[in-house]
Amino acid sequence: MNFEFSAEQQELRRQARRFFESEGAMGSARRMFEGAGPHDCELWRRTADLGWLGVTVAEEFGGSALSALFLCVIAEEAGRSLAPIPISSSIYVCEQALGLAGSRDQKAAWLPPLADGSAIGTFAIAEDAGAGGQRLAEGRLSGAWTVVPDGMAADLAIVRVRAPDHNGASLALVRLDMPGVLREPVPTVDPSRQHARILFDNAISEPLDAGEGGERLWSRIADGAAVLFAFEAIGGAEACLKTAVDWASQRKAFGRQIGSFQAVKHKLADIFLAIEIARSNAYYAAWALANDNEALPAAAATARLAANEAYWMAARENLHLHGGLGFTQESECHLHYRRAKLLGVNLGGSRAWRRRLVTEIQAGRTSVER
């Protein structure tokens, strides 16, 4: 078992960090926050040009056929810079899902445009509770789903359609530019990443879960995505810690650097600790993902929970440490504060993931048991 990233992957990390910095991803996140667009299209195109959106896609579909570990590295750096691009929806979830379960035709149709960024994919798992009446029959999908990430810009969505009694589900692949698809923006806590409510009215769809059962397939998709989400969160958490440490070293109060107060420096140490724990969990989960190991479900849940916790703590404390400044929109603090919340709920909240972890522990499928 080797938990180290390879020299190549480390090099990609350096490159990605430089790239997102020089592209001004953070400034772009602020512009998107202020309403400049659903996401930064230019940054998305340039990221695609580097081949980073298709690193794990098979060569025959325009990708580089590399291990998921490469994608973990990119996710971390995207998180660090708050890059306002639909990478989590389109790549961590939609593209990975097609790679995992798509038919040959589905792969041929969608993987190349997803990998070169010309198409954007997303996923819809939250039924709009008020609407009701979600149904899927004979290739036609009806019903409303809400808080669909990047839903206004996406060309394609994987929609989880649960049976009325929530016993079992199907995954439907739906083109969003077809008749019978209506969408409207849904404001969320993080306006730098736009979300949508999508109403399907007898929209054409095709099944993604041939033979496997949608609930089970969704779990597999979510496990892989959770690892990538975790890396993105860890990147964000580290950015918050760095900002906090810089600020604590520079800002003076009562005649001293505020970082010299134990109430401040111990807090910074606690954040560091939370991040390191999350990182260890994420490395293990990345290893399980890259090696298709049976520990993945438990490892992915653990990584996701730990990373969300670390990001939330780092973002919250960073904002608090900046005092009045942290409470203003001019500071960057609130952008992370919002993103941390967003990443925490996008793939299902912590309660759902805790429950998932409990299921794995009960089934004895955790590393502890072996």
Binding site for other proteins (CB under 8 A): 261-263, 266, 355
- The tokens describing 149, both together, are 């990430």
Q: How far apart are CA 47 and CA 44, in angstroms?
A: 5
Query: Residue 340 CB, nearest distance to other proteins (Å)?
Result: 25
Q: Of 126 and 186, which CB lies nearer to other proteins in the complex structure?
A: 126
In angstroms, what is the minimal distance from the CB of 266 to other proteins? 6
Contacts 24+ apart (CB under 8 A), 176-185: 176/151, 178/203, 178/204, 179/203, 180/204, 183/148, 183/151, 183/152, 185/38, 185/152
Confirm if 149 and 346 have CB atoms less than 8 A apart: yes
Considering the complex, state which of residue 107 and residue 356 has its C-beta at the smaller distance from other proteins.
356
Name the token pair of 295: 């520990």
- Residue 2's CB is within 10 A of a number of other CB atoms, namely 7
Please state the closest distance from residue 263 (CB atom) to other proteins, in A: 5
Nearer to other proteins, 191 or 348 (CB): 348
Residue 178 vs 363, nearer CB to other proteins: 363
For residue 95, count other CB atoms closer than 10 A to its CB: 29
Q: How far is the CB of 224 from other proteins (least distance, A)?
A: 24
Calpha distance 176→232 (Å, rounded): 27
Residues 307 and 278: beta-carbon distance below 8 Å: yes
Nearer to other proteins, 181 or 361 (CB): 361
C-beta of 66 vs 361, nearer to other proteins: 361
Residue 173, strand partner residues: 158, 206
Question: Minimal distance in Å, beta carbon 82 to other proteins?
Answer: 32
Least gap, CB of 166 to other proteins (angstroms): 8
